[in-house]
Amino acid sequence: MPGPGVPGGPAALAAGTELPPLAIPVTRTLIVAGALASRDYQDVHHDPELARRRGSPDIFMNILTTNGLVGRYITDRFGDRAVLRSVAIRLGAPNHPGDTLVLSGTVVSLADGAAEVRITGANALGLHVTGTVTVALPGTEAAR
């Protein structure tokens, strides 16, 4: 399902443009499905009792699922023809079931048909993910 896109469309982009946020409910199913899809069979991503024994209050999302959600956030905003050129993220507070992850982004720079976007994702515990994504804009030579 497409998101709200870039305010004013890609032609209106400038450094400092804030992208609309995306709120994602963090469900148990999302966490387990993401771990399985990325072949991450660590018990802390699917077994609540073992996660508790390891010091976590519940299962938590893996970095590959977060990486996929960051990619979704960018393509929802720039269009499905946008090409992710690089994704550099760092995890912080864990995502547990029942929380909401809110992704947001700010265009840092534009050059040669690509945008560099600073990404943050926060939940009730604080910043879950921070990083930078370089995206080739649809309809530009950089996207080919």
pLDDT of residue 8 exceeding 80:
no
Mean residue pLDDT across the chain? 91
pLDDT of residue 26 exceeding 90:
yes
Q: Which residues contact residue 103 at a Cβ distance below 8 angstroms, ignoring those fewer than 6 apart? A: 21, 22, 24, 69, 70, 73, 119, 120, 121, 129
pTM assigned to the model: 0.89
Domain 12-143 has CATH 3.40.640.10: no
pLDDT of residue 2: 43
Taking residues 71-91, report their average pLDDT.
95
Taking residues 80-102, report their average pLDDT.
96
Rg of the chain, C-alpha, whole Å: 16
pLDDT of residue 1: 35
User: For the chain, which residues make up each domain, given as ranges?
Assistant: 12-143
Q: Could you give the angle at the alpha carbon of 18 between the alpha carbons of 112 and 143, nearest 5°?
A: 30
C-alpha distances (whole Å) from 39 to each of 55, 64, 88, 94 are: 23, 10, 21, 19
Taking residues 31-38, report their average pLDDT.
95
